[in-house]
Chains A and B, each alone.
Chain A
C-alpha cells in the first residue's frame, strides 16, 4: 500500500513539474469543447437557394416568398435558366436551385396541374436529406394554401379549414437546435481522447527511458504500479470532466435535466474505464509509437464511428455492434445524453451503467495480468 502511494506521488511530480504540459492537460479538453461545440452549434436553416422564375407571375412570386418566411432558406440569386442554377450549385454558392416553368402561372389559373423542379446538392447525404425535407414541407404548405384559396374563391369566399394537421414534437430537443444533441456527445468523445492521451504512454514511456528496467528489479507488485499510474490521472481527468461539463452548461447553455451528482459519479466510472484502457494499451506496446497507433487505431476511430456518435448503432452488423459494446464511450454516450438531455436517472440507465463498470474492472485486471516483471 505504501508503495502504491509512492508511485502516485512520483507520477504527480511528473505532471506538476512540466508546467507547459500541465497547462495543456488542464485546459485542452474544455478548449476543445469550446471549439468543436461552436462548430456543431450552427442551427439548421439559412440554406442558400437560387431561383429561376420563368413564370414571373403573382402566383409564382407568392409561391417563392413562402420559402423565405421561416428562415429555413435564404435567397442567394435570381437567375433565368436551369444551367445557371446548376452552375451556382457547382460553385457551392447555392445548396438548392428552384426552377419554376413558364407555364406555372397559367396552369394554376386554368386549374391544370403544374410542376416545380428542384436541384439539390446531395454530396453530403445527411445535409441533403434535411434540405429535401425542408423543400417538400414548405412546397406542400404553399400549394395547399393556394389550393384551398382557389376552392374557397370558387365556392364563394367561404373559409375552408384543413381537415387534419400533423404536429410532431421532439421530446428532448424541442427547439430542433443541433447544439443540444451534439454537445454532450462531444463531452464524451473529448474525455475519451483525453484519457487515452494521459495514460497510453504511461508505462511504455518508462520502458523506453529505461526506468522500467530499474523498477522491475524492485519488489513492487504489478497492481501497485498499474493503480499508481492510474490514480493521479483519475484526479486530472475528473477535474477535466467538471470543467468540460461547466463549459457545456454555462457556455452552450445546456441544462443538466437529470441529477448533476449522478452525472459526475458516472463520469468518474467512465474515466476510470477509459484510463484503464489507455494503461492496457501502454502495457502491450513496446514503443511509444506502437502505443499511439493502438490508441488511435483500436480505440479512437472506433469510438467515433462505432459508439453511435455519428452513425446509429441499431442497424450495425453484429461485429461492429459488439466492438462498440467494448468501448466505454458507447455506454457513456447513453448515460450523458440520458442525464443531460432526457433527464432520466440512474435506474433507467442501468443497462448502460453496468457494462461501464464491468469494462473498467476488465481493463484494469487485464493491465495487471499483462504486466510482466521481466524483460521479455
Chain B
C-alpha cells in the first residue's frame, strides 16, 4: 500500500502524472491514494521530488 507521509506533500502532481491507473486524487492542498485502484507499482515513489511517498510493502531482499 502506498502511503503519504504526513504534512510533507507539496501537491505538485508529479505522482499523478506517472500513475498508470489514475489512482491518485490531488486538489489544492489535499492528496489521497485510491487504494482500490492502486496496483502498488511504486512509480509514484520513484518520481516524487521531495520523497513524500512510501510503501508498507516489505523490502524484497534477494538471496537471503
User: A and B, one complex?
Assistant: no
